[in-house]
Amino acid sequence: MADDDLAGEIVRVAGPLVVARGLPAPKMYDLVRVGAQGLMGEVIELRAEDASIQVYEETGGLGPGDPVYTTGGALSVELGPGLLESIYDGVQRPLNLLREMEGNFITRGTDMPALSRERDWEFVPVVKEGDEVQPGDLLGTIQETPVIEHRVLLPPGVKPGRVQSIRSGALKITDVVAVVGDGEAATEVTLLQRWPVRRARPFKHKYAPTDPLTTGQRVIDTFFPVAKGGTACIPGPFGSGKTVVQHQIAKWADADVILFVGCGERGNEMTEVLLEFPQLTDPYSGHPLMKRTVLIANTSNMPVAAREASVYTGLTIAEYYRDMGYNVALQADSTSRWAEALREIGARLEEMPGEEGYPAYLGSRLASFYERAGLVSCLGSKECSGSVTVVGSVSPPGGDLSEPVTQATLRVVKVFWGLEDRLAFMRHFPAINWLVSYSMYLAQVSKKWDEIIDPSFKELRTEAMTLLQREAELEEIVRLIGVEALSAGERLTMEGARSIREDFLHQNAFDEIDTYSSLKKQFLLLRCVITFHREAEKALEAGAEIDDVLASPLRERLADAKFIPEDRLEDFDKLDQAAVKAMEDLVPREERGAVSNL
Amino acid sequence: MAIRDYMTVRDIVGPLLLVRQVEGAKYGELVEVEFPDGTVGFGNVLEVSEDRVLIQSFEGTRGLDIGSTRVRFRGRGLELAVSRDMLGRVFDGLGRPIDDGPEIIPDERLDVNGNPINPYARDYPSDFIQTGISAIDGLNPLVRGQKLPIFSGAGLPHSELAAQIARQSSVLGREEEFAVVFAAMGITFEDADFFVQEFRSAASIERSVLFMNLADDPAVERISTPRVALTAAEYLAFELGMHVLVILTDMTYYCEALREVSAARKEVPGRRGYPGYLYTDLATLYERAGRIIGEKGSITQIPILSMPEDDKTHPIPDLTGYITEGQIILSRDLHRKGVYPPIDVLPSLSRLKEKGIGEGRTREDHSNLSNQLFSAYARGKEAKELAVILGEAALTEEDKLFAAFSGEFEDRFIRQGEQENRTIEDTLALGWELLKMLPRGALKRVRQEQIQKYMK
Ligand SMILES: Nc1ncnc2c1ncn2[C@@H]1O[C@H](COP(=O)(O)OP(=O)(O)O)[C@@H](O)[C@H]1O
Ligand SMILES: [Mg+2]
């Protein structure tokens, strides 16, 4: 560190921003070490001989004259086996090891490699000496956790060539696992790779996403689905349920790997994940959820510049697993805090602010962030696809969606889950407003339903949506004139919509059974709700009394239907039949024949 | 580092001093500002560049001049001398004793900015605190290590409520050492004295540490007050193993002081003139609540803030709600109706309740019951509003029942005496009792078995 040839000198300190003079050959986004403690920082602006640096740790105690050292490299993450089950801060320092070293509070200047240098990994080669390989080709595998096979690929940028040597058995990540290419062009490949966080990892092609990412959340999967490789946002005021939705997706989505980036949010929310995920069982693999999860925790009280970097750290790790052919889902909570970090640094740079003080490049940064999502065909000679799905929460000030971050986000993402505080106050969760939310993947995804669930699913959804829209219109009338203005049929419509809301859309994340619904169960539950409504309509037409329909004990059974466990889905058929029967029984005897003649 | 004196003040703007030809100043460093009359105040370094240093003076700048003001750099940040002897004492907003007691002989000196708790070291708060207040315990329960603010407005009884919580709080089945840390920021003498008397009469003064920055104390000083108080709290909780309740009042004045400094620095303002870093700044305070794995003590925070114009979307309550683990909102409407505590339960929230309640903690039906009460009250309130416009006749029979329920709910469940301390069993029983007013088929948040078991 003390090599003064590589040093410049601080001339200004303003919060997380430090200006250094005389740094030898500084480049944009170079990683530097600041002050005697060697705090990590990144060059974000160059003016004549001055370099502006955002520092990833607290800057208290720094002053003019303190040294700044170049490292010659860009801010990068370490990639390799051992990422899963880890928890990192925004610049990939392992928080568990940091605690071991420095105690319960995060102090400054501690450096720690992200991946263990000591641990042995059992490497099973799949190529042999003499095989031709190119970047993206599989060299061998490591069982990283019981659920994820870590596929060791020839890294991007390495020259294609012949495998000179390949090892097998127990290896440490810094060991050379293969040598590829001849003579001058020979490259030693280690399990450990590095990648600059701000550069998207390469792939062959990008495709439009088509397959649903099933999250187990009914309002999402049935009404506003997101596709594997797609993008979604969840804006909503505080307390409306953004974090719970993202935790639910992280728990129950049918992705292979989960990245959860806690970006400027609460410490306890990360603790919750840390404590819960090892205890919860992944419904797809049967193993603890933590075995497929990587956590990035740069909470609100941690340094703001590292918060800015945290989403890129997460994305790069996500892309790394994507390149192995996995479906990865990344949750960023909250993108607004990331945008505020940009704003804070921008202000210290004395940039000309755009709307609400955000830098003018807010929109383009957000767009390029979401652009790193996608369904791609991976590098390599074999056909292989992987995806990164990105879900970002947005925290609009005062819940006002006209603010810049929400608006810039809506321009790029394809799914909008609009959370509403009015629903949260009623404890209707998830508080996703069904009238304003949308998914631009619906058409593709619902085509898949035909294959994997049932051809009538789409129709049920449409019918449910129509009822909900009709309810909104009728509510308007009730507000103006009162409920007696409604016909019996209209009252039934209102009740049908209520049933969709309460018996289908409402889903308690904290109930052991209700927390997750398979797509099949979602279909069956919705079919029950709609069947009851259709039958009730028929009965009414055939002369049944509306009050009798509403008093039917079947409605209570419908309310309990969401608690039918996944291994008893046949109960739904019984419930369907009971609904038909119950409504038929309400039709006056003399009319019954007429109905069956219809 | 050596102490260095300078008389090179060039500009004085609001609470800020710009000093030139300074060598070796550090960001965040503590400075002494010597007024021409010989008194000495404190300040700290906001920005350093080459030989120029920007300082915020905690005591303000009244009486300072450019020629004779002396500034002394102390070579370290603002620190608090901590020891067990702080208990029972009263300090000013920077942590200097203002009662007649002796100086604190420090066990340690701690930087008031603290360090972030490593998220990996946190233990999830899950010990239910019985406050004896139904609207809190039943619906928005407080747990140990939580940060749960009270959003209030001028003239509402937030002080009474906070005092009642401090007085009545107990963790079921536990007797442990606890302490109260109280930080006053910009409130009046009378408001502060209410708490002092309260702590005296509850004979808890010897378990309290008070930090006082009152309305007529220097405004900029109150930027340090919560930091000083939380440093004391961390010491008591994580070094002495106590359960500490921190009351911070009033966060609105704290934020206004920040805004004053920001404006003097001519920073680009965020919403309503508050600095763009207000969220981050508040987070560095609120996130100092919590529990740590393997540590006995805990910090529970109850910040109080008055919402300008009762507006929940104002940046101060808004950003607070985005950081804290819920909020207790007071309603002027209920207060006018004479309901104490006037807690607006629907927009109030306790984010940590799921882990703090239920079987083995409070009771197995607690969560469902509270959800049922919430949704029934919400529906009843809506129906009532409709009835006000269109008359009772505009409601369905069912909605009429809900409307009646909501009235009773406010009157019997939310309303209680300032000295009334209800057990959690009483609170839950009351909830079930009120639900009897509603048709069973409309109770969709509770399970049938629970209705049978608890609705007596
Ligand atoms: N699906 C859900 N089921 C039950 N409760 C929920 C659900 N979603 C949200 N909540 C409740 O709302 C609270 C706030 O949710 P959270 O996701 O933390 O909000 P936000 O991130 O928008 O501030 C939670 O603590 C929980 O009590
Ligand atoms: Mg959240």
CA angle A78, A83, A84 (to 5 degrees): 165
Domain membership of residue A136 (yes or no) is yes
Contact A379, A136 (CB under 8 A): yes
Instruction: Give the C-alpha separation, A436 to A458, whole Å.
Output: 19
Are A233 and A368 in a shared domain? yes
Residue A263 sits in the same domain as residue A363: yes
Q: How many angstroms separate the CA of residue A320 from the nearest CA in chain B?
A: 24
A239 in contact with ligand 1, CB cutoff 6 A: yes
Whether B325 and A104 lie within 8 Å, measured CB to CB: no
Cβ distance of A300 and B283 shorter than 8 Å: yes
Check whether B236 has a pLDDT greater than 50. Answer: yes
Do B89 and B41 have their domain in common? no
- Whether A452 is covered by a domain: the verdict is no
Residues B349, B393 within the same domain:
no
* Closest to B126 (Cα-Cα) out of B379, B356, B393: B356
- Residue of A76, A59, A29 lying closest to A313 (CA atoms): A76
Q: What totals of helices (H) and strands (E) does chain B contain, helices first?
A: 13, 22
Please choose from A243, A244, A401, A501 the residue to mutate so as to test ligand 1's pocket, defined by most ligand atoms within 8 A of CB.
Answer: A244
Residues A415 and A463 grouped into a single domain: no
Indicate whether A125 and A181 sit together in one domain: yes
Q: Based on the domain organization, do A299 and A353 belong to the same domain?
A: yes
Residue B45 and residue B86 in one domain: no
Task: Give me chain B's average pLDDT, please.
Answer: 93
Q: Could you read off the pLDDT of B400-417 as tens digits, one per residue?
A: 999 999 999 999 999 999
Please report, for the domain that includes residue B334, its CATH number. Answer: 3.40.50.12240
Q: Which two tokens stand for residue A161?
A: 């060539």
Number of domains, chain B:
3
Query: What residues of A are in contact with residue B284 (Cβ under 8 Å)?
Result: 300-301
pLDDT at B81: 95
Total of domains in chain A: 4
Residue A56 lies in a domain: yes
Which CATH number characterizes residue B21's domain? 2.40.10.170
Rounded to 5 degrees, φ, ψ at B143 are: -125, 160
Pair B185, B331 in one domain:
yes
CA distances for A142 relative to A147, A187, A324, A351, angstroms: 11, 21, 12, 48
pLDDT at B448 over 90: no
User: What ligand 1 atom has the least distance to the C-alpha of B322?
Assistant: 23
Q: Is residue B374 part of a domain?
A: yes
Of the candidates A98, A238, A300, which has its C-beta nearest B280's C-beta? A300
pLDDT at A598: 44
- Same domain membership, residue B327 and residue B395: no
Domain shared by B184 and B325, yes or no: yes
Which of A410, A440, A470 terminates a domain? The answer is A440
Q: Is the previous residue joined to A430 through a cis bond, with omega within 30 degrees of 0?
A: yes
Same domain, B345 and B437: no
Q: What's the CATH code of the domain at A14?
A: 2.40.30.20
Q: Are residues A461 and A564 in the same domain?
A: yes
A416 CB less than 6 Å from ligand 1? no
State both tokens at B225.
Answer: 């007050």
Instruction: Please state, in angstroms and rounded to a whole number, the distance separating the CA atoms of residues B259 and B265.
Output: 10
Q: What residue type is assigned to position A88 of the chain?
A: Y
**Record: contact A510-B367, CB cut-off 8 A:** yes
SS (H, E, C) A312-368: HHHHHHHHHHHCCCCEEEEEEECHHHHHHHHHHHHHHCCCCECHHHCECCHHHHHHH
Q: Are A429 and A527 members of one domain?
A: no
Residue in A482, A584, A488, A484 with CA at minimum distance from that of residue A531: A584
| CATH at A534 | 1.10.1140.10
Q: Identify the CA nearest to B86 among candidates B225, B282, B228, B287.
A: B228
Cβ <8 Å between A104 and B393: no
Clarify whether residues B101 and B118 are in a common domain.
yes
> Is residue B361 included in any domain, yes or no?
no
Q: Is residue B437 part of a domain?
A: yes
Q: Is the CB of A508 under 6 A from ligand 1?
A: yes
Gap between the Cα atoms of A497 and B448, Å rounded: 23
C-beta of A409 in contact with ligand 1 (< 6 A): no
> Does residue A449 fall inside a structural domain?
no
Asked if the model's pLDDT at residue B2 lies above 60, the reply is no
Pocket of ligand 1 contains residue A510 by CB under 6 Å: yes
Exposure on the CB side of residue A591, measured as CA atoms within 13 A:
15
CB contact at 8 A, A504 and A498: no
| Strands annotated E in A378-517 | 385-394, 415-416, 438-439
Among the partner residues B26, B121, B284, nearest to A61 by beta-carbon distance: B26
**Looking at the domain assignment, is residue A248 inside a domain?**
yes
B279 and B152 co-located in one domain: yes
For residue B205, name the pLDDT band (cuts at 50, 70, 90). confident
Q: What residues of A are in contact with residue B315 (Cβ under 8 Å)?
A: 397-398
Q: Are residues B409 and B373 in the same domain?
A: yes
CA R_g for chain A: 28
Return the ligand 1 atom nearest residue A424 CA.
12
Assess whether A233 and A374 both reside in one domain: yes
Inspect the interface and report whether the beta carbons of B315 and A397 lie closer than 8 Å: yes
CB contact under 8 A, A510 and B26: no
Q: Kindly state whether residues B346 and B213 are assigned to the same domain.
A: yes
The ligand placed nearest to the CA atom of residue A334 is 2
Compute the distance from residue A247 Cα to the ligand 2 centre, in Å: 10
**In the predicted model, what is the mean pLDDT of residues B12-29?**
92
Write out chain B residues lying below 8 Å of A395, CB-based. 322
**Measuring CA to CA, which residue among B30, B79, B41, B32 is closest to residue B218?**
B41
Last residue of a domain, one of A51, A75, A99: A75
Give the C-alpha distances (Å, rounded to integers) separating B280 from A15, A299, B284.
Answer: 12, 10, 6
> What pLDDT is stored for residue A597 in this prediction?
46
Is A511's C-beta closer than 6 angstroms to any atom of ligand 1? no
Whether residue A91 lies inside any domain: the answer is no
pLDDT tens string, chain A, 598 residues long: the values are 445 667 899 999 998 999 999 998 889 999 999 999 999 999 999 999 999 999 999 999 999 999 999 988 999 999 999 999 999 999 999 999 999 999 999 988 888 899 999 999 999 999 999 999 999 999 999 999 999 999 999 999 999 999 999 999 999 999 999 999 988 889 999 999 999 999 999 999 999 999 999 999 999 999 999 999 999 999 999 999 999 999 999 999 999 999 999 999 999 999 999 999 999 999 888 999 999 999 999 999 999 999 999 999 999 999 999 999 999 999 999 999 999 999 998 888 888 888 888 999 999 999 999 999 999 999 999 999 999 999 999 999 999 999 999 999 999 999 999 999 999 999 999 999 999 999 999 999 999 999 999 999 999 999 999 999 999 999 999 888 888 889 999 999 999 999 999 999 999 999 999 999 999 999 999 999 999 999 999 999 999 999 899 889 898 889 889 999 999 999 999 999 999 999 999 988 776 655 454 4
Closest atom of ligand 1 to A244 CA is: 17
Q: Could you check whether the bond before residue B341 is cis, i.e. omega within 30 degrees of 0?
A: yes
Same domain, yes or no: A187 and A242: no
CB contact under 8 A, B441 and A356: no
CB of A155 within 6 A of ligand 1: the answer is no
Residue with tokens 């969220």: B279
Q: Write down which residue in B315, B338, B356 finishes a domain.
A: B356
Hey, what are B190's tokens?
Answer: 């009378």
Please identify, among B76, B94, B111, the residue that sits at the C-terminal boundary of a domain.
B76
Range of the domain at A153: 118-194
Q: Do A337 and B119 touch (CB under 8 A)?
A: no
- What value does the mean pLDDT take over residues B96-117? 93
Residue B122 pLDDT: 96
Q: Which of A264, A274, A426 sits opposite B120 (nearest CB)?
A: A274
Pick the last residue of a domain from A45, A75, A105: A75
- Which residues of chain B neighbour A555 with C-beta distances below 8 Å? 441
Q: Which residues form the domain of B37?
A: 4-76
Nearest Cα to Cα of residue A57 among A40, A82, A37, A70: A40
CATH number at residue A158: 2.40.50.100
